């Protein structure tokens, strides 16, 4: 069974057709690199999949639950880190994760916070307020709240944006460790991430899917991925 299904999703903002009839599905073990230029519709598609925006037409199914009709059930299986990984800056990392665990009503919140701090290698900053963290750590906190309930589906909007190479490596390493058990969508405009992290690539431009294929097939399109990308999104 597919863990994520986007079925003919469409969404406009006024006259702008941000997402136009987008369909795809994602199975367990797949890590989708969701690529597209700025304004292509990546964030909007992710918000439709997570139920943060309502589609005008089409539907999104997460772990078998329609995100509009059964939002509580769908969200139980879904972790989402929005663009910029927003968090409450005045909370410490530990407090914020505890807050996220309590919001979700987890049975053993203290244990989940402990395991997540360890998984995301956040122990050394657990007692620091989030506003005092470097960008790399802040992104990891956003990532940590998305995985606190060990969801089957993970949707991450530019989790490595603006990070230095070491910080990027760290986020990719954590993702790779857990990817086999989950269905993951990662938006990025960093083409090198395709080779390092993804099993499949979906390219979107002007709200429409331009390519949906395995990493191997995508990498065979040409030596110069920037050129491949420009052609696909022109």
Binding residues for ligand ADP, rule: CB under 6 A, are: 13, 16, 18, 36, 38-44
Question: Distance (Å, rounded) from C-alpha 139 to C-alpha 145?
Answer: 10
CA distances for 32 relative to 136, 175, 180, 200, 227, angstroms: 22, 12, 12, 5, 20
Task: Output 36 or 109, the one with its CB closest to ligand ADP.
Answer: 36
Residue 22: CB minimum distance to ligand ADP, A: 11
Nearer to ligand ADP, 10 or 128 (CB): 10
Name the residue nearer to ligand ADP (CB basis): 43 or 116.
43
Distances (CA, A) of 218 to 29, 202, 228: 18, 9, 9
Q: Encode 12-51: b = buried (16+ Cβ within 10 Å), e = exposed.
A: eeeeebbbbebebebebebbbbbbbbeebbbbbbbbbbbb
To ligand ADP, the closest distance from the beta carbon of 225 in angstroms equals 18
Query: Residue 221 CB, nearest distance to ligand ADP (Å)?
Result: 21
Give me the least distance between CB of 233 and ligand ADP, in Å please: 10
User: By C-beta, is 92 or 233 nearer to ligand ADP?
Assistant: 233
């Amino acid at each position: 069974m597919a863990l994520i299904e986007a079925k003919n999703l469409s969404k406009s903002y006024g006259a702008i057709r941000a997402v136009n009839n987008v369909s795809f599905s994602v199975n367990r073990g797949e890590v989708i690199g969701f690529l597209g230029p700025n304004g292509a519709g990546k964030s909007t598609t992710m918000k439709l999949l997570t139920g943060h925006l309502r589609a005008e037409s089409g539907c999104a199914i997460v772990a078998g639950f329609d995100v509009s009709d059964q939002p509580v059930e769908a969200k139980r299986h879904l972790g989402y880190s929005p663009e910029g990984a927003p968090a409450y800056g005045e909370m410490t990392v530990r407090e914020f994760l505890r807050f996220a665990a309590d919001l979700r009503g987890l049975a053993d919140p203290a244990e989940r916070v402990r395991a997540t701090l360890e998984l995301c290698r956040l122990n050394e900053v657990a007692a620091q307020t989030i506003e005092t963290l470097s960008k790399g750590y802040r992104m990891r906190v956003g990532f940590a709240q998305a995985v606190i309930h060990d969801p089957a589906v993970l949707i991450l909007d530019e989790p490595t944006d603006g990070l230095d190479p070491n910080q990027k490596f760290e986020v990719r390493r954590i993702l790779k460790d857990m990817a086999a058990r989950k269905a993951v969508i990662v938006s990025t405009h960093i083409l090198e991430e395709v080779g390092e992290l993804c099993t499949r690539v979906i390219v979107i431009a002007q709200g429409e899917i331009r390519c949906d294929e395995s990493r191997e097939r995508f990498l065979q399109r040409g030596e110069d991925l920037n050129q491949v990308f420009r052609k696909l999104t022109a």
